Amino acid sequence: MTNGPLIVQSDKSLLLETAHPEAAQCRRAIAAFAELERAPEHIHTYRLTPLGLWNARAAGHDAETVIDTLIRYSRFPIPHSLLVDIAESMGRYGRLQLVAHPAHGLVLHATDSAVLEEVLRSPKLKPMLGARIGLDAVVVHPSERGNVKQQLIRLGWPAEDLAGYVTGESHPVELRQTGWTLRDYQREAVETFVHGGSGVVVLPCGAGKTIVGAAAVAELQVTTLILVTNTVSAHQWRNELLGRTSLTADEIGEYSGSKKEVRPVTIATYQVLTTKRKGVYAHLELFEARDWGLVVYDEVHLLPAPVFRFTAGIQARRRLGLTATLVREDGLEDEVFSLIGPKRYDAPWKDLEAQGWIAPAECIEVRVTMGTTERLDYATAQQNEKYRFAATSGTKSPVIRALAQRHEGERVLIIGQYLDQLAALGETLAAPVVTGSTPVSERERLFQEFREGALTVLVVSKVANFSLDLPEAGVAIQVSGTFGSRQEEAQRLGRILRPKSDGRSARFYTVVTRDTVDQDFAAHRQRFLTEQGYAYTICDAEDVVSGTSD
C-alpha cells in the first residue's frame, strides 16, 4: 500500500483526492483514458469506460501503460478483476480491421476469427457485408465503410481503419511563418493527425485550433472542405488562411446562406448544409462537389446529425475534427470516434497555461438570492419553466452592473441564453447586444470595435459561444446558459483565454440563483472545467454589490 492520491475501485470508478500533492500530476496522467463524473471540493470521481479506453488505445496507449499509471498513483491494491477488464476492453480495439485488399477492394479482416463469426451474426451488420474470404475476412462495399464502423462500435468491437485514403485533388499550399512560428504542441498535433490519417485534435479555446487546421492543409497540400459553425467563424477562418498560408482570396470559397462559392479551399457552415428544401438536404452535395483531399470539422462536438450521416459515406477522405472538448450533450461521442476518427491529440489546458500559451483564469460563482415574491413565483412555476425563471431572476441585474463597473476599462463580455434578459442588460449597461438576428456585417463591426477597445462592454447570446476571436477580452460574466451544458461552459471560458498583452489573468464570473435549478445546472456545467484543473470560488452577491469581495 502506498500513499497515492487515487483510489481505484472494482466498479471502474477512480477517486482522486484533490488535496494530495500529486493530484494534479495524477489528473493529467489519467485524463488520457478516464472520464470525469463528479467534481466536488475534495474527492473527484472518474470512470473507466470502453470508449475512453478505446480512444487511449487508438492514441498509442496500451493496456500495460494504463495499468502502470493506475498502480503508480493508487493508494490501495487494484482489484484483479479490474486489471483484467482494462486489458480485455483495450484488446477489443483492432481485433477487427478495415484494410485494402488487392483483389477484393475493402475488406473487414479479423485477427481473431471467432470475433468475425460473432459480428457476422448481427442482423444490422450483415446487409453491409459481401462475400466471405476465408476464415478471417469478409468483403465490405466501399460505400458502407462508415456504416460498418458505426455498427461495430455499437456491438462493442471497434474497428481499426487501415484501409487508407484517396489522395484527392492536389493543391499547392505553404505556411507563411514570417513573424510567427508553429508552437511545439501545434506541430505535434499536426504530425500526429497526419500520421494517423483521420481523427480529432483537442485543444483549449485560444490555443490555435484554426492554425492547426491551416498547417494540416499545408502539410497535405490538397483541396480542402472546412465546415464551421456560422458565417462569422467562416470569415475568421478565411482571414487566418490568408494571413498564415500562401492561399489567395481567389483560392478560398465561402459556402453559406449568402454565397455559394466552391473553390480549392471551401469554407461552409453547418447551418447551410443542414437546410432542407422540400424535405431534402439540398446542399449536402457539396461533399462531392470536388475531389476533396481533406475535410475539416471545426467544433466537431457540435456536428449535426445530417452531417454525421453524410460523413459515413466519405470515409475514404481524410477527416480532421477540431474541438476544445469531446463532450457531446447528446451522448454521440461514439459517432465522432467511428466516423471522424479517434482522438489523436489532446493538450491539457493547465499545461498550456503554465507555458504561457493561454491566459490563467480565475472562475468565480456569484450566488444571488431571490426575494420573497420571486421565490413564491418560482415555487409555483411549471417544471419546464423553472430554469428560465431562475436564470433570468431580476436579482441578477445589480450584480452584473456591479461586476461591469468593477472591471471598467477592461474588455467585458456579458453572455447569456435568453434574449429578453440580454436586451434588458444591454439597456442597463448602455452596451450593444449581439444575437442570432444581428446581421453578420453588424456583428463583425461590433466585434472589431471590441477588439480595438472603442467598445469595452458587449452583451452576447450563445452565437458567441464558438469560434469567436476576441484576443483582449479579459472578463466574461455568464448570466444564463443552456441548462447544464458542460461544452458550453468550456466554450464560454474559452472566449477570454487568449494571452493578454499585459499578462493579466482572465476572470470568468457565473451569476447563479441559489436554491434553484439554476444552481444545480451550474454545478453540472462546471464539471468539465474542474477536470481541466480550474477551481470555482463562490461568493455572495451582496459582497459583490457592496464591494467587499475580492
Cell numbers standing for residue 231: 458565417
**How many other CB atoms are found less than 10 A from the CB of residue 80?**
9
What pLDDT, on the 0 to 100 scale, is given for residue 493? Answer: 76
Q: How far from the centroid of its chain's Cα atoms is residue 319's Cα?
A: 16
Residue 26 has pLDDT above 90, yes or no: yes
pLDDT category at 114 given cuts 50, 70, 90 is very high
What pLDDT, on the 0 to 100 scale, is given for residue 1? Answer: 55
Residue 92 has pLDDT above 90, yes or no: yes
Q: What percent of the chain has pLDDT over 90?
A: 51
What pLDDT, on the 0 to 100 scale, is given for residue 69? Answer: 96
Round to whole Å and give the CA distance between 107 and 97. Answer: 8
pLDDT category at 16 given cuts 50, 70, 90 is very high
What pLDDT, on the 0 to 100 scale, is given for residue 470? Answer: 75
Alpha helices in 138-177 (DSSP H): 145-154
What pLDDT, on the 0 to 100 scale, is given for residue 402? Answer: 93
pTM reported for the whole predicted model: 0.82
Tell me if the domain spanning 184-347 has CATH number 3.40.50.300. Answer: yes
Mean pLDDT, to the nearest integer, of 286-309? Answer: 86
C-alpha dist (Å) from residue 521 to 294, 381, 415, 485, 518? 38, 17, 16, 8, 5
* Contact (Cβ atoms closer than 8 angstroms) between residue 522 and residue 378: no
C-alpha dist (Å) from residue 283 to 225, 270, 273, 290, 306? 13, 10, 5, 13, 11
Distance between start and end Cα atoms, the chain: 42
What pLDDT, on the 0 to 100 scale, is given for residue 367? Answer: 93
Residue 7 has pLDDT above 90, yes or no: yes
Residue 540 has pLDDT above 60, yes or no: yes
Residue 29 has pLDDT above 80, yes or no: yes
pLDDT in tens, 162-198: 999 999 999 999 998 888 899 999 999 999 999 988 9
* Contact (Cβ atoms closer than 8 angstroms) between residue 122 and residue 151: yes
Residue 278 has pLDDT above 80, yes or no: no
What pLDDT, on the 0 to 100 scale, is given for residue 458? Answer: 92
- Contacts by residues 76-82 (CB-CB < 8 Å, ≥ 24 positions apart): 76/1, 76/7, 76/8, 77/1, 78/8, 79/8, 79/9, 79/10, 81/10, 82/8, 82/9, 82/10, 82/12, 82/48
What pLDDT, on the 0 to 100 scale, is given for residue 468? Answer: 67
What pLDDT, on the 0 to 100 scale, is given for residue 326? Answer: 75
Q: If we measure between CA atoms, which residue out of 505, 449, 514 comes closest to residue 476?
A: 505
Residue 347 has pLDDT above 90, yes or no: no
Cell numbers standing for residue 313: 459515406
pLDDT in tens, 494-519: 777 777 777 778 888 999 999 998 88
Which helix (H) or strand (E) is 544 found in, with range?
Answer: helix 541-546
- Same topology between domain 184-347 and domain 354-546: yes
Residue 265 has pLDDT above 90, yes or no: yes
pLDDT category at 200 given cuts 50, 70, 90 is very high
Q: Domain extents for the chain?
A: 6-92, 96-161, 184-347, 354-546
pLDDT category at 548 given cuts 50, 70, 90 is low
What pLDDT, on the 0 to 100 scale, is given for residue 257? Answer: 82
* Contact (Cβ atoms closer than 8 angstroms) between residue 126 and residue 117: no
**How many other CB atoms are found less than 10 A from the CB of residue 379?**
11
What pLDDT, on the 0 to 100 scale, is given for residue 485? Answer: 67
Phi, psi of 280 (to 5 degrees): -120, 140
pLDDT in tens, 452-477: 889 999 999 887 766 567 767 889 89
Which helix (H) or strand (E) is 36 found in, with range?
Answer: strand 34-38
What pLDDT, on the 0 to 100 scale, is given for residue 37? Answer: 75
**DSSP states along 367-427:** EE---HHHHHHHHTS-GGGHHHHHHT-TTHHHHHHHHHHHTTTSEEEEE-S-HHHHHHHHH
36: left (phi over 0), alpha (psi -120 to 50) or beta: beta
Tell me if the domain spanning 354-546 has CATH number 3.40.1550.10. Answer: no
